A and B are shown apart, each in its own frame.
Chain A
Amino acid sequence: MSDAKSLRVAYGEALVELGTKNSKVVVLDADLAHATMTSMFADRYPDRFFNYGIAEQNLMSAAAGFAHSGLIPFASTFALFGAGRAYEIIRNAIAYNNTNVKIACSHSGISVGEDGGSHQSIEDIGLMRLIPNMTVLVPCDPIEMKKAIAAAATINGPVYIRVARPVVSNITTEDTQFEIGKVVTLREGTDVALISTGLMTERALHAALMLEKEGISTKVVNVHSLKPFDVTTIRQIAKSVKGIVTAEEHSVIGGLASAVSESLVGTLPQGFGFEKVAIMDTFGKSGKPEDLFSYFHLTAEDIANKARSIARRK
């Protein structure tokens, strides 16, 4: 548990590292370079950085234009204004023709905090998963962010990367496997599987420790790749436990809970437990991030409670 840093700073560092290795990488932003941390790339490679101003539709369209000219553009803004405001551009100008644009959006989820519901994207994973050709990555810590950015650049096609705002500690290591389309088991267990993504993985690990003390054995599975989705492994995991709890900082509709349900429908034995920790189809609101995690029942304790209810079943 070292090197705590904001995932957006990890994103900025990863961009600089990638840019140094690959001269085709260019970065575009929409007047939020100092918030998405693309400013780190802009400082290092000013002539490869393009600020499009407060104009997200133009940002995404222009990124498509850069890609059509053989470059590898990373376009960044807040998740709500990228995945949201520019949705149809991403769909038609980027994904429809499988254009090589990387969309890295910060300030996702309720961890945005005080700015409130107008700025808290709780639907971006769903929106991006819906689009054919799109790869959707949700890193859980700074190390995974670095791997996700490097991996995104190796794909020839659109990739969406969700970049959360808060400072987080590393919960994976440089050696932890990272393969697009594969889940990672961070902890073995036999009673319940906690399947989590992004900021919730840290909380799932914490929940697992709490449950261990109570004699409940939990497996923790981190999902960094929401699309393509590791259906095969999720099905195997489901066979090995009494039930699963999904955990995400996103709407219960369209994100991880949906992806897991879609993978398991028709395969579960009777009495199998399936619980969801997510934002229950409601908008976010202003408050300190940690207060909001509690308010929306997205804490380690909330995950543990759901796991307990499964473990207690006969």
Chain B
Amino acid sequence: MDIASQTVKARELRADVLTMLYKSQSGHPGGSLSCVEILMALYYNVANINPQDPHWEDRDRIVLSKGHAAPILYAILADLHYFPKSDLSSFRQIDSHLQGHPDMVKTLGVDVNTGSLGQGAAIAGGMANAAKYLKKDYQVFAILGDGELQEGLIWEASMAASHYKLDNLTFLLDHNGLQIDGTNEQVMSLGDIIAKYEAFGFSCFKVDGHDIQAIVEALNAPTEGKPKFICCETVKGKGVSFMENQAGWHGKAPNKEQYVQAMKELGVEVNV
């Protein structure tokens, strides 16, 4: 898929996310909309995966460490035919395989359970270390939230990644500046995050997190035997004007009016 058609795809995926949230009347719009292009860079451009063979042992692993962004992950997995797109409408309902947070036991295409912040990144580190030990070529990508960086576990995992020279491990940070109780700055300031990752021994990159091409280039850049850290500058709630940069849209579903308005902004007329 060329990058121009991916812009159209990004809009469609955002619409899928909003529809899932509207139908279930729960879930996390802000952080799902902010990492659309990050996940697209991986799933449609870089990662070596095969939707026909979800458990292929040499596949690249993609770990959504900020598991609350599950809606965008599910929208992409459905688009890639891991499961029927019609399943999306069962999101968060009882008996759905699409849980509020990703569940590898229930959902094809999910590489690991996440939802408890900090754990995904650390598990990804273990997967990358195992690949080295098993002499496998697969890469491991983890998508982290900036609030999530406050977990001590992230720094334990980062230290280990560098110690074990995991050049097959990439952390992609969804740097949207917001968490639940406000901005990162208000809640627990992160300081100079690139300087921190450089000090932890990572190869660091900073890109526009809504520019798929730029993310892909950073993903493909050499790492000189180090784990990689890509700081993706993003907008929480990207694509829906009234959700953009609003902490209040972290974990709240749109009502009917808001849904119709949001879909309109994404170029979809809905009658509900």
Asked if B24 is at the interface of the complex by the 8 Å CB criterion, the answer is yes
**Are B152 and A57 touching (Cβ within 8 A)?**
yes
Partner of B181 from the list A32, A85, A116, A291 (CB cut-off 8 Å) is A32
Partner of B116 from the list A33, A85, A287 (CB cut-off 8 Å) is A85
Question: In this complex, what residue of A is CB-closest to B150?
Answer: A53
**Are B24 and A118 touching (Cβ within 8 A)?**
no
Given known A31-B188, A115-B101, contact A286–B94 (CB-CB < 8 A): yes
Additional 18 contacts, C-beta under 8 A, given A57-B152, A116-B99, A118-B116: A31-B180, A34-B180, A51-B181, A52-B188, A54-B150, A55-B151, A55-B152, A116-B100, A117-B99, A118-B99, A118-B103, A118-B114, A119-B115, A286-B92, A286-B98, A288-B93, A291-B94, A292-B94
**Are B96 and A54 touching (Cβ within 8 A)?**
no
Q: CB-CB < 8 A to A118: which residues of B?
A: 67, 99-101, 103, 113-116
**Nearest CB of A to B66, in Å:** 10
Mask: chain B, 170-198; 1 = CB below 8 Å from A; 0 = not: 00000000011100001110000000000
CA distance A53 to B94 in the complex (A): 31
**Nearest CB of B to A15, in Å:** 16
Given known A52-B188, A115-B101, contact A287–B93 (CB-CB < 8 A): yes
CA distance A293 to B152 in the complex (A): 35
**Are B180 and A115 touching (Cβ within 8 A)?**
no
Asked if A80 is at the interface of the complex by the 8 Å CB criterion, the answer is yes
Partner of A287 from the list B92, B180, B188 (CB cut-off 8 Å) is B92
Asked if A184 is at the interface of the complex by the 8 Å CB criterion, the answer is no
**Are A55 and B94 touching (Cβ within 8 A)?**
no
**Are B94 and A288 touching (Cβ within 8 A)?**
yes
**Are B147 and A114 touching (Cβ within 8 A)?**
no
Question: In this complex, what residue of B is CB-closest to A33?
Answer: B181
Q: Which B residues are closer than 8 A to A by beta carbons?
A: 24, 26-27, 67, 92-96, 98-101, 103, 113-118, 147-148, 150-152, 179-181, 186-188, 251
**Nearest CB of B to A66, in Å:** 17
**Interface CB pairs A-B, < 8 A, 16:** A31-B147, A32-B180, A52-B188, A53-B147, A53-B150, A54-B148, A57-B152, A85-B116, A113-B26, A114-B27, A116-B99, A118-B113, A119-B115, A286-B92, A286-B96, A286-B98
**Are A285 and B94 touching (Cβ within 8 A)?**
yes
**Nearest CB of A to B65, in Å:** 12
Given known A34-B181, A85-B116, A114-B24, contact A55–B188 (CB-CB < 8 A): yes
Asked if A58 is at the interface of the complex by the 8 Å CB criterion, the answer is yes
CA distance A85 to B153 in the complex (A): 11
**Are B187 and A116 touching (Cβ within 8 A)?**
no
Question: In this complex, what residue of B is CB-closest to A52?
Answer: B188
Mask: chain A, 32-62; 1 = CB below 8 Å from B; 0 = not: 1111000100000000000111110110000
**Are B187 and A31 touching (Cβ within 8 A)?**
yes
Given known A31-B180, A54-B117, A54-B148, contact A287–B94 (CB-CB < 8 A): yes
Q: CB-CB < 8 A to A272: which residues of B?
A: none
**Nearest CB of B to A165, in Å:** 12
Question: In this complex, what residue of B is CB-closest to A120?
Answer: B100
Asked if A295 is at the interface of the complex by the 8 Å CB criterion, the answer is yes
Q: CB-CB < 8 A to A35: which residues of B?
A: 180, 251
CA distance A137 to B153 in the complex (A): 30
Q: CB-CB < 8 A to A286: which residues of B?
A: 92-94, 96, 98-100
CA distance A286 to B186 in the complex (A): 31
8 A-B pairs with least C-beta separation: A53-B188, A287-B94, A118-B115, A116-B100, A53-B150, A114-B26, A114-B92, A116-B99
Given known A31-B179, A33-B181, A295-B94, contact A51–B116 (CB-CB < 8 A): no
Q: CB-CB < 8 A to A33: which residues of B?
A: 180-181
Question: In this complex, what residue of B is CB-closest to A56?
Answer: B151
Question: In this complex, what residue of A is CB-closest to B101?
Answer: A118
CA distance A39 to B92 in the complex (A): 27
Given known A55-B150, A85-B116, A291-B94, contact A114–B181 (CB-CB < 8 A): no
Mask: chain A, 263-288; 1 = CB below 8 Å from B; 0 = not: 00000000000000000000001111
**Nearest CB of A to B114, in Å:** 8
Q: CB-CB < 8 A to A80: which residues of B?
A: 116
Q: CB-CB < 8 A to A54: which residues of B?
A: 117-118, 147-148, 150-151, 179, 188
Asked if A29 is at the interface of the complex by the 8 Å CB criterion, the answer is yes
Q: CB-CB < 8 A to B101: which residues of A?
A: 115-116, 118-119
Q: Which of A161-198 contact B (CB under 8 A)?
A: none
CA distance A307 to B251 in the complex (A): 40
Q: CB-CB < 8 A to B148: which residues of A?
A: 54
Asked if A81 is at the interface of the complex by the 8 Å CB criterion, the answer is yes
Q: Which of A49-85 contact B (CB under 8 A)?
A: 51-55, 57-58, 80-81, 85
**Are A119 and B152 touching (Cβ within 8 A)?**
no
Given known A35-B180, A115-B101, contact A51–B96 (CB-CB < 8 A): no
Instruction: Count chain A CB atoms within 10 A of each CB in B27, B96, B150, B152 and give the residue with the most.
Output: B150
Question: In this complex, what residue of A is CB-closest to B180?
Answer: A31
Question: In this complex, what residue of B is CB-closest to A119?
Answer: B115
Q: CB-CB < 8 A to B24: which residues of A?
A: 114
**Nearest CB of B to A8, in Å:** 14
Question: In this complex, what residue of A is CB-closest to B90?
Answer: A286
**Are B115 and A39 touching (Cβ within 8 A)?**
no
CA distance A114 to B252 in the complex (A): 12
